[in-house]
Amino acid sequence: ETGVTQSPTHLIKTRGQQVTLRCSSQSGHNTVSWYQQALGQGPQFIFQYYREEENGRGNFPPRFSGLQFPNYSSELNVNALELDDSALYLCASSGAGRGAPNVLTFGAGSRLTVL
Contacting positions for another protein (CB under 8 A)? 4, 31-33, 35, 40-45, 48, 50, 56, 58, 90, 92, 94-109
Shortest Å, Cβ 103 to another protein: 5
Rounded Cα gap, residues 22 and 51, in angstroms:
17
- What's the CA angle centered on 9, arms 6 and 14, to 5 degrees? 120
Q: Which is nearer to another protein, 43 or 81 (CB)?
A: 43
Three-class DSSP category at 7: strand
DSSP state of 26: P
Query: CB of residue 29 vs another protein: minimum separation in angstroms?
Result: 10
In whole angstroms, the minimum distance from the beta carbon of 16 to another protein comes to 28
* Closest CB to another protein among residues 17, 55: 55
78: Cα separation from own chain's centroid: 11
